[in-house]
């Protein structure tokens, strides 16, 4: 039984509509979807019965703009390297770009055992795997900035290499190189978008749940986990009803689970609870949802995302200055064009297109409106939002000037919108932050000290659709005490035709 608080299922993959437009909330691109041996693709095919199809974003998936200098991220490792070397010919002798790629793969090589260890029962960890994952944990202690500084002195190069930091929400001096490497390699074979939009993730997974005897409830908020004698026995719903179950899995996020869902009397059963609650959460974000009464083709909208850095190369300084004063220039502006990425967009919304623009904000800037009602938060809130919306639109018009005067409607979400719909305590964009210490927290795994209570979701692996999906596989492995990854790969290999051999 899946209990979803929101009335639209899918978590951050849900979509919403207004006046004949539809927008994604938390998916703009996913990597590694056309490589045969991609574990992510194999797991997606397994859980969706191959019904989820992906559209390739093409040769350029990310476009980085540092002040007015433009850099393209090209699909395919060799193409990407070649293009980067063309942009930075003076780095040839130092082999900076090769060294950077080698560093990414070093993280990748050690990642598997680190994540597999999370699914192992405690007694096995003690006897069979005391050193498992240590290599990864060692690398994860280094920040992205430390690794980049060890590779090059070229600030422009380092700014370009860390330009996807918005995908994990932390600037180079704060983020672990482990998350940077995971994201960079994830997209190295290009960007992909679910055909039909991000709601197709839920639409294609739901039949697997139902077919296997599961059920899905929406508008079904869990008030508390029912714990008796230190054993999870089910959940108490917001309306007081009790749903009993042998096993409870919380995918609501570590902070929500530990702060709100564990009954007070049982909190003492979790020795790391306070430590977990003190783990920093990611920033809040603004998302500007834009609708246009023209098609993506008519407006010449690109497929590639924009990563705009108006302040130059120092991402850390730009974030710090802006978070101290929101009137300062945005540290990063991300623009996504779902209508041009989704080949079926016009079937649902003929003659239209959509755009999404995202930037960072502090929850505190919006906190005073947190107890107001959605859509009725008052003129002051609306005016405050409008300032941000206009500033974001100007960035769009700078790079896509043909859109000036073409916008039909726009709506800005803030961290209190995110809190309202997705329940994150401070409307955080990506759950827990990805600083180096996070990767040393062994309790961020499926098992909890409470018998029959398990965790899943981005907080126990990493941010991203891929991270959330693989967390589900890990949690299933921990519950069944089977290597579910190996089972899924085995089934995929049996299914594969002879000329489509799979090597993961």
Considering the rule CB under 6 A, would residue 310 count as an interface residue with ligand FAD?
A: no
Q: Strand pairing of 305-309 and 60-66?
A: parallel
457 DSSP 8-state letter: S
- For residues 454 and 449, what is the distance between their CA atoms, to the nearest angstrom? 9
Considering the rule CB under 6 A, would residue 54 count as an interface residue with ligand FAD?
A: no
Considering the rule CB under 6 A, would residue 285 count as an interface residue with ligand FAD?
A: yes
Q: Which is nearer to ligand FAD, 259 or 272 (CB)?
A: 259
227 burial class (0-12, 13-18, 19+ CB within 10 angstroms)? Answer: buried
Identify the three-state secondary structure at position 355.
strand
Considering the rule CB under 6 A, would residue 302 count as an interface residue with ligand FAD?
A: no
Which residues within the stretch 409-438 sit at the binding site for ligand FAD (CB under 6 A)? 422-423, 429-430
Handedness of CA 132, 135, 136, 141 (dihedral sign): positive
CA distances from 68 to 61, 86, 308 (A): 19, 18, 9
Q: 489-499 burial string, b = 16+ CB within 10 Å, else e?
A: beebeeeeeee
- For residues 326 and 330, what is the distance between their CA atoms, to the nearest angstrom? 8
Considering the rule CB under 6 A, would residue 314 count as an interface residue with ligand FAD?
A: no
Residue showing tokens 């280094």 = 142
CA dihedral 269, 272, 275, 276 (to 10 degrees): -90
Considering the rule CB under 6 A, would residue 185 count as an interface residue with ligand FAD?
A: no
Q: Which position among 55, 132, 465, 484 is part of the footprint of ligand FAD (CB under 6 A)?
A: 465
Q: Which position among 15, 139, 160, 222 is part of the footprint of ligand FAD (CB under 6 A)?
A: 222
Residue 365 C-beta: closest distance to ligand FAD, Å: 17
Considering the rule CB under 6 A, would residue 358 count as an interface residue with ligand FAD?
A: yes
- CA angle at 115 for the pair 112 and 117, rounded to the nearest 5°: 105
Question: Residue with the closest Cβ to ligand FAD?
Answer: 11
Residue 396 C-beta: closest distance to ligand FAD, Å: 16
- CA angle at 107 for the pair 106 and 113, rounded to the nearest 5°: 110
Identify the three-state secondary structure at position 309.
strand
CA distances from 289 to 157, 360, 407, 414, 498 (A): 31, 15, 11, 11, 45
Strand partners for 237: 222
Residue 410 C-beta: closest distance to ligand FAD, Å: 16
Choices 4-12, 225-233, 342-350, 439-447; region in contact with ligand FAD by CB under 6 A: 4-12
Considering the rule CB under 6 A, would residue 284 count as an interface residue with ligand FAD?
A: no
Q: Which is nearer to ligand FAD, 458 or 485 (CB)?
A: 458
123 DSSP 8-state letter: H
Considering the rule CB under 6 A, would residue 233 count as an interface residue with ligand FAD?
A: no
Q: Which position among 15, 22, 23, 29 is part of the footprint of ligand FAD (CB under 6 A)?
A: 29
- What is the maximum span of the chain, computed from C-alpha positions, in angstroms? 67
Of the candidates 316, 331, 382, the one whose C-alpha atom is nearest the C-alpha of residue 145 is 316
Considering the rule CB under 6 A, would residue 179 count as an interface residue with ligand FAD?
A: no
Choices 131-139, 293-301, 385-393, 461-469; region in contact with ligand FAD by CB under 6 A: 461-469
Q: Which helix or strand (DSSP H or E) is residue 199 part of?
A: helix 199-211
Residue 277 C-beta: closest distance to ligand FAD, Å: 15
Sheet architecture: strand order including 54-56: 30-31, 191-194, 54-56
Q: Which position among 15, 21, 23, 30 is part of the footprint of ligand FAD (CB under 6 A)?
A: 30
Considering the rule CB under 6 A, would residue 249 count as an interface residue with ligand FAD?
A: no
- For residues 299 and 163, what is the distance between their CA atoms, to the nearest angstrom? 26
Considering the rule CB under 6 A, would residue 119 count as an interface residue with ligand FAD?
A: no
Residue 192 C-beta: closest distance to ligand FAD, Å: 10
- For residues 135 and 482, what is the distance between their CA atoms, to the nearest angstrom? 24
Residue 320 C-beta: closest distance to ligand FAD, Å: 22
Considering the rule CB under 6 A, would residue 313 count as an interface residue with ligand FAD?
A: no
Considering the rule CB under 6 A, would residue 252 count as an interface residue with ligand FAD?
A: yes
Residue count, binding to ligand FAD (CB under 6 A) = 32
Considering the rule CB under 6 A, would residue 221 count as an interface residue with ligand FAD?
A: yes
Considering the rule CB under 6 A, would residue 446 count as an interface residue with ligand FAD?
A: no
Choices 10-18, 50-58, 95-103, 340-348; region in contact with ligand FAD by CB under 6 A: 10-18
Considering the rule CB under 6 A, would residue 58 count as an interface residue with ligand FAD?
A: no
Q: Which is nearer to ligand FAD, 151 or 466 (CB)?
A: 466
Q: What are phi and psi of 363, to 5 degrees?
A: -60, -40
Choices 28-36, 97-105, 106-114, 489-497; region in contact with ligand FAD by CB under 6 A: 28-36
Q: Which is nearer to ligand FAD, 319 or 465 (CB)?
A: 465
Considering the rule CB under 6 A, would residue 83 count as an interface residue with ligand FAD?
A: no
Considering the rule CB under 6 A, would residue 27 count as an interface residue with ligand FAD?
A: yes
Q: 342-354 burial string, b = 16+ CB within 10 Å, else e?
A: beebeeebeebbb
Q: In the structure encoding, which two tokens stand for residue 247, read together?
A: 């096993």
Q: Which is nearer to ligand FAD, 28 or 63 (CB)?
A: 28
Residues that bind ligand FAD (CB under 6 A): 3-6, 11-13, 26-30, 221-222, 251-252, 256, 285, 287, 358, 422-423, 429-430, 457-458, 463-468
């Amino acid at each position: 039984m899946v209990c979803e608080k929101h009335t639209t299922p899918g978590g951050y993959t849900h979509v919403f509509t207004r006046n004949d437009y539809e927008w994604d909330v938390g998916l703009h691109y996913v990597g590694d979807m056309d490589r045969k041996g991609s574990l992510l693709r194999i797991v997606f095919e397994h859980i969706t019965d191959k019904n989820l199809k992906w559209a390739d974003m093409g040769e350029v998936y990310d476009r980085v703009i540092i002040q007015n200098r433009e850099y393209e991220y090209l699909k395919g490792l060799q193409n990407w390297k070649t293009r980067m070397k063309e942009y930075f010919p003076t780095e040839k002798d130092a082999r900076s770009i090769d060294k950077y790629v080698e560093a990414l793969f070093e993280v990748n090589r050690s990642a598997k055992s680190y994540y597999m260890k999370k699914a192992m029962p405690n007694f096995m960890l003690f006897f069979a795997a005391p050193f498992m994952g240590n290599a990864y944990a060692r690398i994860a202690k280094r920040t992205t900035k430390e690794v980049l500084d060890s590779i090059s002195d070229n600030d422009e190069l380092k700014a370009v290499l860390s330009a996807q930091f918005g995908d994990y929400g932390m600037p180079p001096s704060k983020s672990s190189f482990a998350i940077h490497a995971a994201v960079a390699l994830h997209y190295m074979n290009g960007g992909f978008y679910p055909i039909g939009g991000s709601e197709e993730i839920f639409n294609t997974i739901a039949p697997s749940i139902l077919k296997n005897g599961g059920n899905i409830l929406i508008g079904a908020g869990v008030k508390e986990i029912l714990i008796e004698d230190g054993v999870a026995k089910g959940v108490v719903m917001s309306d007081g009803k009790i749903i009993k179950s042998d096993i409870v899995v919380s995918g609501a996020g570590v902070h929500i689970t530990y702060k709100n869902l564990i009954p007070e009397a049982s909190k003492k059963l979790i020795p790391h609870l306070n430590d977990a609650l003190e783990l920093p959460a990611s920033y809040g974000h603004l998302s500007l949802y834009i609708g246009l009464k023209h098609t993506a083709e008519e407006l010449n909208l690109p497929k590639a995302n924009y990563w705009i850095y108006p302040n130059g190369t120092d991402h850390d300084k730009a974030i710090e200055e802006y978070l101290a004063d929101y009137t300062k220039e945005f540290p990063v502006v991300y623009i996504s064009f779902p209508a041009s990425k989704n080949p079926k967009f016009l079937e649902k919304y003929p003659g239209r297109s959509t755009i999404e623009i995202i930037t960072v904000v502090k929850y505190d800037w919006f906190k005073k409106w947190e107890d107001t009602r959605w859509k009725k938060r008052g003129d002051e809130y609306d005016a405050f939002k409008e300032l941000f919306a206009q500033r974001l639109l100007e960035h769009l018009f700078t790079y896509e000037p043909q859109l000036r005067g073409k916008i039909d409607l726009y709506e800005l979400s803030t961290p209190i919108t995110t809190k309202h719909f997705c329940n994150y305590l401070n409307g955080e964009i990506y759950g827990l932050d990805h600083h180096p210490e996070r990767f040393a927290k062994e309790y961020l795994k499926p098992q909890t000290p409470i018998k029959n209570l398990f965790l899943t979701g981005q907080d126990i692996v990493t941010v991203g659709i891929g991270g959330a999906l693989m967390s589900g596989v890990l949690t299933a492995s921990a519950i069944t005490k089977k290597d579910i990854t190996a089972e899924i790969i085995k089934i995929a290999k049996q299914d594969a035709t002879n000329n489509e051999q799979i090597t993961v």
